[in-house]
């Protein structure tokens, strides 16, 4: 039974992860709320889980020419600084508190998405345009 | 080709993407998508580019987690087949879903997750 749940949870999380929309939240939630995995271990599993998801998704997105590396690269370099301090903080905090903080963070983001003013999307950047 | 100028907020927010990845092992994309949208990317481009940002950051985070011995790598194996298949479907779907629906699904998924986490 549990392998069906594992399959379903990982499949659903990966679909959302490849869409770039918070698939991680679902897997961490499944692991902590249903599988009884401690918060920090759930987060570690989620990070490793994201590797094949991202590789597959990136190959397809690259083929569809949807990735803007010129904007991605500065985000990656600055993000690496954040990773260092984020991991430090995760190790310092009590795991239960870490879980609550994660929930609060997701709630804020979700509410913002739902109640965001609907504005017209920016014009699509055509890479073949000269 | 039109692109909005990067405001000064772009730089601290890029650091925050990494901070979330390290702190929660997830959630970088949740900040990355609006940041990328803010510099003028279309909805599907913002989602795709966010994966290219969060991927190397997740690898770095996972490496630091492993070094701190906070989880067993073998615990992740059972989730990898589903990861592979789900990613194929998700990436195939991205250019086919309308951006309004993408945002709605995004918001609903996140609120559902957060509610479960906070109320359990």
**Which has the closest alpha carbon to A22: A12, A34, A32, A31?**
A12
Please write the tens of the pLDDT for every residue from B46-97: 989 999 999 999 999 999 999 987 788 888 898 899 888 988 888 888 788 7
Nearest to A21 among B80, B86, B106 (CB): B106
Tokens 């271990």 belong to residue: A41
Among B3, B25, B104, the residue with its CB nearest the CB of A46 is B25
Helix (H, G, I), strand (E, B) or coil at B68: coil
Tokens of B37: 């949208």
Q: Do B45 and A125 touch (CB under 8 A)?
A: yes
Q: Are B53 and A33 an interchain contact pair (Cβ–Cβ within 8 Å)?
A: no
Q: Is the pTM of this model over 0.90?
A: no
ipTM over 0.90: no
Residue of A56, A116, A36, A68 lying closest to B49 (CA atoms): A68
Q: What is the pLDDT of residues A73-113, one digit of tens each?
A: 999 999 999 999 999 999 999 988 998 898 888 788 777 76
Q: How far apart are CA B48 and CA B67, in angstroms?
A: 29
Give the residue carrying structure tokens 């957060």: B114
User: What's the CA angle centered on B42, arms B82 and B27, to 5 degrees?
Assistant: 45
């Amino acid at each position: 039974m549990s392998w069906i749940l594992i399959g379903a949870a990982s499949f659903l999380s990966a679909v959302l992860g490849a869409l770039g929309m918070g698939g991680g939240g679902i897997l961490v939630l499944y692991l902590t709320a249903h599988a009884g995995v401690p918060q920090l271990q759930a987060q570690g599993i989620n990070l490793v889980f994201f590797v094949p998801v991202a590789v597959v998704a990136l190959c397809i997105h690259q083929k569809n020419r949807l990735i803007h590396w010129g904007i991605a690269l500065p985000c990656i370099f600055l993000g690496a600084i954040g990773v260092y301090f984020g991991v430090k903080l995760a190790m310092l905090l009590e795991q239960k508190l870490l879980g609550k903080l994660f929930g609060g963070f997701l709630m804020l983001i979700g509410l913002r998405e739902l109640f965001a003013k609907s504005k017209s999307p920016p014009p699509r950047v055509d890479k073949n345009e000269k | 080709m039109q692109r909005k100028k990067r405001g000064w907020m772009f730089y601290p927010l890029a650091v925050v993407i990494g901070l979330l990845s390290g702190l929660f092992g997830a959630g970088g994309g949740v900040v990355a998508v609006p940041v990328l949208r803010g510099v003028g990317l279309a909805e599907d481009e913002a989602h795709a580019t966010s994966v290219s940002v969060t991927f190397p950051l997740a690898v770095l985070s996972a490496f630091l987690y492993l070094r701190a011995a906070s989880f067993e790598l073998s615990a992740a194996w059972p989730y990898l087949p589903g990861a592979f298949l789900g990613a194929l479907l998700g990436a195939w779907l991205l250019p086919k879903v309308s951006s309004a629906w993408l945002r709605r699904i995004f918001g609903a998924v996140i609120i559902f997750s957060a509610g479960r986490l906070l109320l359990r």
